Amino acid sequence: MPEAHVEAPTEGSVILASILLKLGGYGFLRVSLTLFPYGSLYFLPLVYTLALLGIIYASLTTLVQVDLKKIIAYSSVAHMNLVVLGIFSFKIQGIVGSLFLMLGHGLVSGALFFLVGSLYDRHQTRSILYYGGLAQVMPTFSFFFFFFSIANMSFPGTCNFIGELLILVGLFQTNFLVTFIAATGVVLSAAYSIWLFNRLCFCNIKTLYLERFRDLSAEEQTILSQLTFWSIFLGILPDFFLSYLSFSVKCLEVRFFN
């Protein structure tokens, strides 16, 4: 997945993160839980093990990456593993949280890939080693990058917060130990999100490598403003979508739901 993001153009990365990455979750809901409920229950320890390893490994790998696209890509992998845990919690809260997180992740991760693509179009490099101090020369870019960075770490008031909270609530009812380990992914998410924003937008401007800076255009600001609006809207008024998601989840005929 990270290699696919690196090789794909900006548009491809946005589509991959926002839409195609959700097909796995759709398959779990439509095939695994619906057609093979007992098989899903039988392989539950294996699924939990792989998902927890995916969260920890992807989060730690994100901390040491220097390619901006790989950083966002590994972050997406960690979040989608949390989605898997929510689906296999076999609780309505966990599954609704997974659906909501997939929706919010599509907005936040797509916006981050869009911002990285905008930076690459201007300077033809994605290596974070060449950047620094962008808050001084690209304030609009830095504002949007800051917002989607805190949204990516599930800051309260953003869409990802609602999804991750519901997943952990549903997972807590199934297995406390798995919930505790999965919660470390939230801490690591805050670590690499803040670390990335600090290296990119603060520190000193590295004029030795980059000489000209151009902030976001009006078209780019319009696109990102819409994504910002929906990210905040879903974080403040989640019932607008949760009512529909809850109805759909209750229609799943899985007998071990409570």
**Of 256 and 249, the one with more pLDDT:** 249
Residue 190 φ/ψ region, left for φ over 0, alpha for ψ in the -120 to 50 degree band, beta for the rest: alpha
- How many residues make up the chain in this entry? 258
Give the single-character DSSP code of 67. B
Average per-residue pLDDT for the chain: 88
> Please, how many CA atoms are within 13 Å of residue 170, restricted to the half-sphere of its CB?
26
Q: Is the pLDDT reported for residue 8 higher than 90?
A: no
pLDDT cut 70: percent of the chain above it = 96
Give the single-character DSSP code of 28. I
**Of 7 and 110, the one with more pLDDT:** 110
Alpha carbon distance 86, 146 (integer Å): 27
Q: Which residues, in sequence order, are CB contacts of 153 under 8 Å at separation 6+?
A: 160, 186, 189, 190, 193, 194
Express each pLDDT in 12-23 by its tens digit: 888 888 888 888
Locate 99 and state its tokens: 């659906």
CB of 61 within 8 A of CB of 190? no
pLDDT value at residue 210: 64
pTM of the model as a whole: 0.91
Rounded (5°) CA angle 18-22-28: 175
Q: Which residues, in sequence order, are CB contacts of 116 under 8 Å at separation 6+?
A: 10, 13, 68, 69, 72, 126
pLDDT band at 211 (very low <50, low <70, confident <90, very high): low
pLDDT band at 208 (very low <50, low <70, confident <90, very high): low
Alpha carbon distance 113, 118 (integer Å): 9
Its sign, for the CA torsion 33, 39, 43, 44, is positive
Report how far apart the first and last C-alpha atoms of the chain are (Å, whole number): 35
